[in-house]
């Protein structure tokens, strides 16, 4: 059996970078998940997959499905939808709709995003439901969430009103937010709006509850949530210098604690981490041994530049290794996928990059093959105790 050969790249000398673990963020939230969307790096995960009551933060799923329906032509922004007695019956945060209203879809979207309108969610839900009921829409929400990979999400209604079994995880909320931002940028800009006055009927509910908006830290979304069971929560996002951070947290005791914790997360994520160049496309990362080739080894390179999010402070060398099944057999085509570069930043998830052949290596002639066999036999004899032949093949060579 041919083993997997691992070649350590000492301190990742290819890039000359140093990294150290950023100070872990000690959040008071019951559960939290922080994602650097630009690089896909998970910066923090605390009880991130625990299915918890999401309160109004689950309205993001209703919004996503509304955006989807608009893009598909099943809803129109200027379309006016009726308000049922069921939708009107909701309390909490509302647009104060009644059954005499026919409300534009665009106003309903703002009513959900800015005002957190429970009634507005129900109006959208009944319009898109397969059977015209909010319950039917909630079942559709659950199926769509599963299709999107939101594996810890189950919906019983459209707005997060307390209901047994209505749950989401912080990871799911963050991934859903990432979908909204990337899939529907034309609608995402609404999340930054701080005020919406609908028909002048609800002056006491006309401002966005997101405490990060207006702080000049790049925050532009997304949704707060609160029930007595869930506590205070927030799904937030901010962009600074081309980097976007998305996070979800829940279980804080007060609105003040939520605001302070959310701002602290944003500051920590942008100040303690920075995107850095690891290696450039075509630059030799390591050399791999070749069996029966016109050359004894081949350079391993990346197809594209590699940039990673790393802690901003310097410290221990960045650890990395090259892994491949070897020795490699000639002939080898230029650009053939041969190995994997595994980079392990301290305190962050490992990152894997495919490595390809820098040049082509032809199959060697008779003399080359005999020399290769001779060198291999000599290496085994020298490595074995008491002159016995060894069974372990030669390891790869590094730069």
Contacts with 41 (C-beta within 8 Å, 6 or more apart), sequence order? 35, 273, 308, 309, 348, 349
**Rounded to an integer, what distance in angstroms lies between the CA atom of residue 316 and that of residue 346?**
9
Task: Round to whole Å and give the CA distance between 384 and 364.
Answer: 28
Cα separation, 376 vs 289, in Å, equals: 11
Catalytic site includes residue 116:
yes
Phi/psi of residue 336, nearest 5 degrees: -70, 140
Q: How far apart are CA 10 and CA 347, in angstroms?
A: 18
Give which of 68, 178, 177 is closest to 128, Cα–Cα: 68
- Three-state SS for 312? coil
| Catalytic residue (one of 93, 116, 129, 169) | 116
Rounded CA separation 70/54 (Å): 25
Please report, for residues 68, 70, 109, 141, the alpha-carbon distance to residue 144 in angstroms, rounded to integers and kept in the order given: 11, 16, 19, 5
Burial 232-257 (b: 16+ CB within 10 A, else e): bbbbbbbbeeebbbbbbbbbbeeeee
Catalytic residue among 59, 156, 169, 237: 59
Cα distance between residue 246 and residue 68, in whole Å: 21
Residue 158 tokens read as 């459209």
Tokens coding 219: 């925050």
Indicate which residue of 46, 56, 156, 177 is catalytic: 56
Q: Catalytic residue at 56?
A: yes
Give the number of C-alpha atoms closer than 13 A to the C-alpha of residue 257, restricted to the C-beta side: 14
Output the DSSP codes for 327-364: SEESPB-TT-EEEEEEEE-TTS--EEEEEEESS-BPBP
Catalogue the active-site residues.
56, 59, 116
């Amino acid at each position: 059996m041919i083993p997997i050969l691992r070649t350590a790249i000492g301190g990742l000398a290819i890039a000359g970078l140093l990294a150290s673990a950023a100070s872990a963020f000690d959040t008071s939230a019951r559960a939290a998940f922080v994602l650097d969307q630009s690089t896909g790096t998970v910066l923090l995960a605390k009880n991130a997959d625990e299915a918890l009551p999401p309160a109004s933060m689950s309205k993001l799923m209703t919004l996503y499905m509304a955006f989807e329906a608009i893009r598909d032509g099943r809803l129109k922004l200027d379309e006016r939808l009726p308000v049922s007695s069921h939708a009107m019956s909701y309390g909490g945060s509302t647009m104060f709709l009644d059954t005499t209203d026919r409300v534009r879809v665009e106003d309903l979207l703002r009513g959900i995003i800015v005002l957190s309108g429970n009634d507005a969610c129900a109006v959208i839900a009944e319009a898109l439901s397969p059977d015209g009921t909010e319950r039917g829409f909630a079942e559709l929400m659950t199926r769509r969430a599963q299709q999107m990979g939101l594996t810890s999400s189950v919906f019983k209604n459209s707005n997060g009103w307390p209901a047994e079994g209505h749950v989401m995880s912080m990871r799911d909320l963050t991934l859903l937010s990432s979908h909204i931002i990337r899939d529907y940028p034309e609608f995402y800009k609404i999340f930054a709006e701080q005020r919406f006055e609908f028909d002048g009927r609800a002056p006491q509910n006309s401002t966005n509850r997101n405490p990060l908006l207006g702080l000049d830290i790049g925050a532009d979304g997304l949704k707060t949530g609160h029930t007595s069971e869930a506590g205070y929560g927030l799904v937030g996002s901010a962009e600074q210098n081309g980097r976007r951070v998305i996070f979800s947290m829940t279980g804080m005791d007060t609105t003040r604690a939520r605001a302070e914790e959310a701002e602290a997360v944003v500051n920590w994520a942008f100040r303690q981490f920075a995107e850095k160049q690891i290696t450039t496309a075509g630059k030799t990362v390591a050399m791999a041994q070749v069996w029966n080739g016109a050359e004894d080894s081949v350079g391993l390179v990346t197809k594209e530049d590699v940039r990673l999010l790393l802690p901003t402070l310097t410290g221990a060398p960045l650890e990395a290794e090259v892994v491949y099944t070897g020795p490699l057999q000639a002939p080898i085509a230029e650009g053939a996928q041969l190995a994997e570069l595994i980079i392990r930043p301290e305190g962050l998830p490992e990152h894997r990059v495919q490595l390809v052949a820098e040049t082509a290596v032809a199959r060697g002639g008779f003399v080359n093959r005999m020399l290769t066999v001779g060198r291999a036999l000599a290496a085994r004899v020298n490595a074995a105790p008491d002159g016995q032949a060894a069974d372990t093949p030669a390891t790869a060579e590094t730069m």
